[in-house]
Chains A and B, each alone.
Chain A
Amino acid sequence: GAVVSQHPSWVICKSGTSVKIECRSLDFQATTMFWYRQFPKQSLMLMATSNEGSKATYEQGVEKDKFLINHASLTLSTLTVTSAHPEDSSFYICSATPFGQDYNEQFFGPGTRLTVL
């Protein structure tokens, strides 16, 4: 149980285009979903926290207009990288927290590798 999927797993796009990444909780409803960014050989950097039906809370320094987050249901959150540029190339990971857990463990998706040419 507690499986989180991401789609696509790898995407290559041209500079200036927009890319959407989906994060789904497959067997549970997620109170909260998180989006992280990870550069090679570095740690995970939290980009934003999203709750179903409300606006995402972005971390300081993360451009809200560039990284659009939509949490339309209790099982789906999307991250759209708008007008992508080569510096946006990175590994993006989502995680989800199920309802009702007393320790609110985060379950992680397998990640999406974005390459912007």
Chain B
Amino acid sequence: AQTVTQSQPEMSVQEAETVTLSCTYDTSESDYYLFWYKQPPSRQMILVIRQEAYKQQNATENRFSVNFQKAAKSFSLKISDSQLGDAAMYFCAYRGSGGSNYKLTFGKGTLLTVNP
């Protein structure tokens, strides 16, 4: 079974600074998808960024980028120029690619605080 580990229960960053959230995963599959989701106090899950394992290039979305290390099974999220609105719980998630296996496996989450 796949597992996703987020080793940082809480992180804090100063507004306008950069922060990196860690995520490691365990899988025997060679093809899969990785996601970072944001859950603000409203509890609405919002997709931040996705990475396909077959792509070597790290995904970026504006101020959000990932460092995907497939051999190390590591998938960290970097938030640049942090804003107050970035404060939320962040979940790393794994999804296999085979057939109808669309299930997401989530990490335990990292609570990000942004200090003004």
Q: Are A and B physically bound partners?
A: yes
Interface residues of A, Cβ cutoff 8 Å to B: 31-32, 34, 38, 41-44, 46, 49, 51, 91, 93, 95, 97, 103-106, 108, 110-111
A105 to B45, Cβ gap below 8 A?
A: no
Q: B106 at interface (Cβ–Cβ under 8 A)?
A: yes
Q: What are the 6 tightest A-B residue pairs by CB atom distance, in nearest-first order?
A: A108-B45, A43-B106, A43-B108, A104-B102, A111-B43, A110-B44
6 contacts between A and B (CB under 8 A): A41-B111, A42-B109, A46-B104, A95-B45, A103-B50, A111-B43
Give the chain A neighbours of B91 by CB distance below 8 A.
Answer: 43-44
Residues on B with beta carbons closer than 8 Å to the beta carbon of A44: 45, 91, 104, 106
User: What chain A residues lie within 8 Å of B42 (beta carbons)?
Assistant: 110
Q: Which B residues fall within an 8 A CB radius of A?
A: 33, 42-47, 50, 52, 91, 95, 100, 102-104, 106-109, 111
Question: Given A43-B107, A43-B108, is A106 in contact with B102 using a C-beta cutoff of 8 Å?
Answer: yes
Q: In angstroms, how far is the closest chain A Cβ from the Cβ of B64?
A: 16
**A41, B102: Cα distance in complex, Å:** 25
Chain A residues, Cβ within 8 Å of B100: 32, 51
Bound complex: CA A38 to CA B43 (Å): 10
- Cβ-closest chain B residue relative to A108: B45
